[in-house]
Amino acid sequence: MHQSDKDWWRNAVIYQIYPRSFLDSNKDGIGIISKIEYLKSLEVDAIWLSPIFKSPMNDMGYDVSDYFDIDPLFGNMDDFEELINICHKNGLKLIIDQVYSHTSDEHPFFKQSKKDKENDRADWYVWADPKEDGGPPNNWLSVFGGSAWEWSSKRRQYYLHNFLKSQPDLNFHNIDVQNWVLSIADFWLKKGVDGFRLDVANYYFHDPKLRDNPSRKNIKAPFANPYGMQDHKYSINQKENFSFLKKLRIVSEKYKNSILLGEIDNKDLQIKYTEGGDKLHLAYSFELLRKELSTDTIQDSIDYFYSSTKDGWPCWSFSNHDVKRHISRWSRDKSNLDDLAKISCALLLSLKGTVCIYQGEELGQTETKLEFEELTDPPGIEFWPEEAGRDGCRTPMVWNSQKLNAGFSEVKPWLPVKKEQKQKSIDLQEDKNDSVLRFYKEMIKARKEHFSRQTYDFDFIPSNDLLIFSNGSSEKIICIFNLDNETKTIEKNNYQYNSAFPSNKLSTENDYYVFQAYGFGFFNLR
């Protein structure tokens, strides 16, 4: 039984494109349309585009100055409409990023808002008077460093910015702001997009009393970024978020089969925001985007979600544009990177839930090591060298090892293409039977055939040494992973190897299956 098209997103494979680094097709812009055949060959269900709207690019498009038009860096509205049509003709859904918590300080509404306290947009952003000593109204911190408050000498008040000072926060307590944001969503859904990835979806509302955030418990030493020293009880994660997301869901439901995918930095809110069928369709947290690769980490994160909800739905990913690439994050040495890439692929694609693959992940791409003078990312520049920022995971896609900049661009790209990344180019992998790229394609096919039902059983099986879980409905597949460097074995009595799935470093020895480092296999019960 196949799931309805309305539920296409359940167990879907979504491919994230960072447009600035995907392909420079005209020496100043980005080309996606010309690579549709490549995306189609992966057999993913949807692509998600990071922001493509008009922006001064202080935060690479996450500072929007016009929500209703395309930035010239990426083309124009005609190009975007062509992309929608081509995606749909090729069976691909198209999801676009929406940044609602804040705008660029170059947005006309903010320029108007900061003029004075009486204009029509005066209450569209979060303004507050200084304390008696002239300081900011509370202790809230910016994710990108320093106070979350910036002084405006023109208005003689502070405004809130959870990120850069050039990214002022919208005041969602103003119903006119909410209605305007809903109109943005309606505009793009009417264009034909299939849904949104909602940037920082738990940041929309703030505490109107502007109470100080408490400190986090058991924090003994300052982080490179002190933002992590606070419990952000009042600056984000407010209960009003739920009501607004219900309104956004109503807009989404007007359009056939569209979805809301939320970025949530809290695993409990990942559950609460997707429960009940009236808020987000699905959400991802940073549980598996930052933690180590271990049996306990994987089992605890997955188990926690499904044991805490009846109908919430997760989106799992190991890499994206905000974190160090997982191959570099998890590798213990450089001797078995392809094996690590394959086991992480097999693990991700055998999980229950929707999954996201970040561009280059299917090549086994590693984090790019950059020099300080090569950085563009604001937090990377701010916290260097203790924290390198996000540029290392955002370097250009490598298409052809024989071409300038690995085929990404004929001119100097915004971030460099280094030798280590170039060695993983698509042309070196597409015809190689044991390549990481070939493995991803095979594993996506296996997932669609065996794990793409709307509902099915998913259970962890206790094991001291291996990560084992069962997955499937009419056909129950036992998935066994050795996430360590040591060789491990398991008795063959209870399991029949399923050759329909890709495997890695799995062999037999008398009455045992032998799993070498990063070895895994898929089995049927005997």
Cα maximum dimension of the chain = 82
Contact status, residue 140 vs residue 120, Cβ threshold 8 Å: no
* Set 97, 199, 287, 442: catalytic member: 199
Q: How far apart are the C-alpha atoms of 419 and 436, rounded to whole Å?
A: 18
Query: Strand (E) positions, 348-434?
Result: 354-358
Confirm whether 5 is a catalytic residue. no
| Residue at 131: amino acid letter | K
Contact status, residue 35 vs residue 22, Cβ threshold 8 Å: yes
Confirm whether 373 is a catalytic residue. no
Q: How far apart are the C-alpha atoms of 511 and 476, rounded to whole Å?
A: 22
| Residue at 270: amino acid letter | Q
* Set 45, 63, 97, 263: catalytic member: 263
**C-alpha distance from residue 337 to each of 7, 135, 328, 457, 483 (Å):** 35, 50, 9, 32, 13
- Among 292, 308, 309, 98, which Cα is nearest to 193's? 98
Contact status, residue 260 vs residue 278, Cβ threshold 8 Å: no
For the chain, how are helix, strand and coil distributed in percent, rounded to 5?
30, 20, 50
HSE-CB of 403 using CA atoms within 13 angstroms: 17
Rg of the Cα trace of the chain?
A: 23
Q: How far apart are the C-alpha atoms of 178 and 247, rounded to whole Å?
A: 9
Q: Checking phi first, is residue 321 left (phi over 0); if not, alpha (psi -120 to 50) or beta?
A: alpha
**C-alpha distance from residue 501 to each of 265, 306, 515 (Å):** 33, 25, 16
- Among 510, 471, 476, 518, which Cα is nearest to 490's? 510
Number of H helices, E strands in the chain: 13, 20
Q: Which helix (H) or strand (E) holds 513?
A: strand 512-525
Contact status, residue 479 vs residue 470, Cβ threshold 8 Å: yes
Contact status, residue 26 vs residue 42, Cβ threshold 8 Å: no
DSSP structure string for 280-313: -SEEE-SHHHHS---HHHHHHHHHHHHHS-SS--
Q: Name the residues annotated as catalytic.
A: 199, 263
